[in-house]
Each structure stands twice: as structure tokens, then as C-alpha cells.
Structure 1
Amino acid sequence: MSFRSRLRAFLPSACLGLATLLAASAPASAETYPDKPIRLIVPFGAGGITDVAGRLIAQYLGEELKQQIIIENRPGAGGSIAAQVLTQSKPDGYTLLLGTVGTQVVNKMLYAKLSYDPAALTPVSLLSNSPFVLAIHGVDGVHDLKGLAAYAKAHPNQLNAGSAGNGSSPHLGLELFKLITGTQITHIPFKSGIEAVNAAVGGQVQVVIDALPVIQPQDKAGRLKMLALAAPKRSAIAPDLATSVDEGMPDFQVGSWNALIAPPGMPQAQVEILNQALERAMAQPKLVARLAEMGIEPLPTGLAAYQAHVKAETDKWYKVIQAAGTRLD
């Protein structure tokens, strides 16, 4: 057989072998996704309300996807560090971010130069929200939000309020309360929400805003007095606690909400797989019950609900940040 004949005989099998090799090394398609563990980046340290919610939801989402979801905590700069890591990751669905109001909405208002573009990230869905509660210590005669507003007006800048730090959700919640009520309260930033709550317990500050599970034990022990939940409906773990709507301040709503976010350029097919699995996971009665035990409420899944929520949050916090003049650079 001539060389040319042997070459013609060899080429079909060689091409088939090359095609098989390329198929084996190609990224997983939507039909096989996910076929390995997924990394979920959490923009805060372990143990906080954001981390706890993320880990719990990740457990149930992983069961629906039949893959392990590994939590990676990347705290710092209001979530900017975690968001930057996501931006630099491959858009293959194996690196995701537990988005927050910081990463998705307010960081772009607080920093002149941001290490990532929130608009370039690929949103998947909302996940959950943990409404905040406003509490006081050592403010005699105050029993509700209107009473606190009246006291603050009569004593401008004499009340100190602690938060988890400049630009944090509790800080912005305080600024929202001040804007709505026309009051002057001095903000004292701490390194974490726990430090701010401890400062309130110790009398260093008189006002504090944070997640209900963080403050409720101090209220039960008589060390703080909860005034109201900054939410439209009451919490199952504190049914007797009035809401801001109950007290005639419907615009005073703030909490720690989360969303599932993918890298820029994530294929829509993978986004849809995540959304379908997430919808099934968030409908699990055991997950809903466990979230409720911690004062966390599930949010509507899907892209439309996410977009509407982010638009409303953007409009609200832009006004608050402009009025307060808050900047982080």
C-alpha cells in the first residue's frame, strides 16, 4: 500500500480520536451541569447572619443540584473583595457569589472607584431577607419609634447609635430613620454588628440596629429594649414585636437581603438550571422552617423579582446616601 493510501486510511480514525479527546476536555454543557462541586463566595466572615443564611440555603440547593456547594468566606470592603473574585472567575457556573445590598446596590454609591462593575455580574435570583430591629438602651420614656423620634428631636445629637461600620446595612438603616424622622443622631461605627450591640448593652451607645436574632436575646435578658421590626410584617420568632408599618413608618424598612450572583457572561442555560433548582429548594418546608427559626424570610425566586427588588433598593438607598453624604473613599 502506498503512503497516500495509508494516510487516507488513517485520517478517519485519527479525526475520530481527536474529536473524542476534545469532547472530553470541553467545559461541561447545560446537559451535564453541574458535574463537580460549586464554590459559593460569601462576602462576610463566618457566623454572621449572612453566612448562616448562605450556608443553610447552599445545603438545600446542593441537594437539588446533586453536588456539594463549598462556602468560601471573603470578607472586606463591604463585599467588594468577594465581588472582585467573582468577576475574575470563569463564567462556567462553578463559582457563585452570595450577593448583598452592598455588592449589588450601595457599593457603587459609596466608592468613587470600585474594583468590579455590579452591572456586569450575572444575577440568578433573590434568596432571603433578615429584617432588622431597632433597639435602645437607657432612653427613659421611649417605647416606640415615634417616641424615639420625639426624644431625638428634643435632644439633637445627644443620642449615639452604633452600627457594624460605615456604609454597612445597619448604618444605612440609621440614616434612613434619621431621614424619615428629620432627627439628628450621632453615628458610632464599630468593626462588627456584635461589637455595636455589645456597646449598646454596655451603655456606650443608646441606639442600635441589627438583625432580630442578634438583638432579641439581649431584649429577653432586659439589657436592650426592642422598639420595632423594620419590616412590613411581623416575625414568627417575635410575634408581639410591632413593625414599622404598625407604628406608622412604612418607609422605614431595612434588612440583610441576599441574592445568588454569577460571573459576567454566565450562559443563560446554566442560570436557568440554578433557578429551577433554587425554586425547588426554597419551597422545601424544612428549609422554610429553619429560616423562620432564625428570623429569616425567603424571597421570590427568578430574575424578574430580582430586578424589581434591586431597582427599588437602588432608588431608596441613593436618596439616603445623598442626604447623609456617606462616602467610603
Structure 2
Amino acid sequence: MKKTGVLQLAGWAALMMMMTGAAQATTFPAQPVRLIVPFGAGGITDLVARQLAQQLGKELEQTVIVENKAGAGGMIAAQAAQNAKADGYTVFMGTVGTQVVNPLILSKISYDPQAFVPIGMVTGSPYVLAVRSDLGAQSYAQLVNLARQEPGRLNFGSAGIGSAPHLGVELFKLIEQVDVRHIPFKSGGEAVSAVVGRHADMVMDAIPVIMPQVRAGKLHALVLADSQRSFAAPEVPSSAELGSPELRISSWNVLLAPPGTPQEVVVVLGEALQKTLAKPEFKTQLEQQGSQVYTGTQDEYQNFIAAERSKWQRIVQTAEISLE
């Protein structure tokens, strides 16, 4: 084939790729979008995902279906999302566990956290430390004293080894120098139910997960792990005002696409996400539950992840947390 023929074919191929990409961006989404959540129903990630799915679906003019894939600290869901077809019809709700902690506590993981394409940050929510109503600890100081008096007697539930709720209590243990045993569950909702049912003594999780049980009289909320009180739980003192400012932890969520997802599709998803996050009713709904809307560029996301990795690496190493 002559050189001019080869060049013409290459030109046509490039043109067809451009036209295909433009057509894909124009028609996307032409079918429902699947949102994979790495934990079971009832936890903060699931709650945020379902609210996001409803509003994001309106912006995309398509149904967004939440699919819970719990287990293995979020690895089952992360692997499924990474291996999904990179066409924009599968997105993933990344968390501190899937994007930061798993690589710190495992020598081998079944997915690459850095391979995902960031669509945008979604929310963050400070954690509340609560105990069962009949434990006998009515304040943070009383809980610390009780734990120190009988090392190893108290236990706590979490959404699983290496989950943010697990690390939150490990941070509490390090700061207060107490010995509290860990009981892992598949989700934050299960852990809270265990404490309500008196199968565990304490639990730490986000405001939307903890406070309904507190207001029902089934749990006592002792401290909010943040620098100041929350609008959604004004009755709960912050860790800063109780003299433990180092006790700060929040759950956060980021929307991600499988590796190789076309940039023009990511742009469509990103624009729909930013419009959703900007809705006053969406922001108000989240704030009333104790979550804050996060926004930012892809570069800001990378900077955020780097800071989180540094923070949790210290805690994981000090607490000697490992799944190996």
C-alpha cells in the first residue's frame, strides 16, 4: 500500500475515533448506571450513595442503581468496579478504606486504588463514639476510666477490620491508652445493631448511623471526633472541648470510574455530580444528617488522598493493624 494510502487510513481511523467519542458523550447515558457500594445497607456510605443515586439520576435523566457488595474491607466491591466495563455505566463509591487503608494493612490486594478515574469528591462526616445505654458510662471521661479500670473487658463493633470505624476506635485507644477488644461486622449498621442489642459495648461511626439510635434512647453518644460540635448533633460535645483534640476522624466518599473510562464520559458524570452537590435541598439534607458536601478538582482529590494516606499510615503502624 502506498504511503498516502496509509496516511489516509490513519486519518480516517482518527476521525472515526473522534466521532465515536463525541457520539458517546452526546448519547451518554443511554441506559441505567450502576453505583457499586463497598459495604452493606445501613452504613454511612450506603446512606450517602442512595441519596446521591436519586439526585444524580435526575441530572443524568437515567436511573442510578445502588448495588451493595459487602465483604473483605471493600475489596470485593473495588475489584468488581475495577474489572467492570469502562463505559461509564458502572461507577464506584470509594472510601477511606478502599482508597487508603487497604493498601496499608494488606501486602496484596485484588485491585489498584490508584487505577480508578476520579469523578469527584462527594461527602465527609465526622464520627461519633457511642456506648450501649446500660454500660454505666454517661460521659467520655467515665468511659475512659471504665476502660482503664478493667483492661480488655470492654469491646467495640465496627464495619470490619481496617474500616474507618475500626480505625477511629484504634485512634481512641492510642490517645487514651486503653485496651478495648475489637468485634468486626460486615457493615456499620450491623455494628450499631450489635451495640443496641447488647452484644457489644461501644461503636464509632458517622452521625447519620449513630444518632437515630441515640435519640431513640438505645445508645449514649459521648463524643464527636471533630474540632467543633455538629449542627446535626449539637448535644454531643466535640473531642476538642473534652481535651482530646487529636481524636478527629470522619468518613468520606468519592465517586470513581473504572480504569480506562473515556474522559468525555467522565466529564458528563462529573458535571452531573457537581450539579447534584450544588443543589440546596441536597446539601441541606446531608447537613441535617451530619454530612458535609465535598467538592474539588482531580488534583485536589490527589492531594487529599496523599494527606489521608500519611495520617492513617501512622495509626495503622502504631496499632499494628494487619489482615495478613
TM-score band, normalised by the shorter chain? 0.7 to 0.9
Going from structure 1 to structure 2, the CA distance change for 1:220 and 1:115 (only over 3 Å counts) comes to same
**17, 38, 42: which one pairs with 2:37?**
42
Going from structure 1 to structure 2, the CA distance change for 1:60 and 1:195 (only over 3 Å counts) comes to closer
CA shift for structure 1 position 39: 2.0
- Find the counterpart in structure 1 of residue 85 from structure 2: 90
**14, 29, 32: which one pairs with 2:26?**
32
CA shift for structure 1 position 282: 0.4
Q: Output the amino acid matched with 2:139.
A: H
CA-to-partner distance for each residue in 1:114-167, whole Å, 9 max, x for gaps? 1111111112211012322101234546512x4433443343223222223322
> Identity across aligned pairs (percent)?
46
CA shift for structure 1 position 273: 3.0
**TM-score, structure 1 length as denominator?**
0.83
Q: Output the amino acid matched with 1:316.
A: K
Going from structure 1 to structure 2, the CA distance change for 1:232 and 1:63 (only over 3 Å counts) comes to farther
- Find the counterpart in structure 1 of residue 250 from structure 2: 255
- Find the counterpart in structure 1 of residue 64 from structure 2: 69
Alignment of 1:145-294 (within 5 A): 146-294=141-289
**TM-score, structure 2 length as denominator?**
0.84
Separation (CA, whole Å) in 2 of partners of 1:309 and 1:140: 39
Aligned residues: 310
CA shift for structure 1 position 261: 0.6
* Structure 1 vs Structure 2 CA RMSD: 2.7
Separation (CA, whole Å) in 2 of partners of 1:202 and 1:74: 25
CA-to-partner distance for each residue in 1:54-97, whole Å, 9 max, x for gaps? 12112222322333322222222121112112222233322211
- Find the counterpart in structure 1 of residue 53 from structure 2: 58
- Find the counterpart in structure 1 of residue 3 from structure 2: none
CA-to-partner distance for each residue in 1:192-242, whole Å, 9 max, x for gaps? 433433333344433221232332233234332111112334322211211
Going from structure 1 to structure 2, the CA distance change for 1:31 and 1:166 (only over 3 Å counts) comes to closer
Farther off after superposition, 257-266 or 298-307: 298-307
Task: Work out whether 1:306 is the aligned partner of 2:271.
Answer: no
Unaligned runs of 5+ in 2: 1-8
Partner-residue secondary structure (3-state), 2:26: coil
CA-to-partner distance for each residue in 1:259-293, whole Å, 9 max, x for gaps? 01111123333333322222221010111122223
Q: Output the amino acid matched with 1:134.
A: L
Which protein has the larger Cα radius of gyration, Structure 1 or Structure 2?
A: 1
Separation (CA, whole Å) in 1 of partners of 2:205 and 2:215: 16
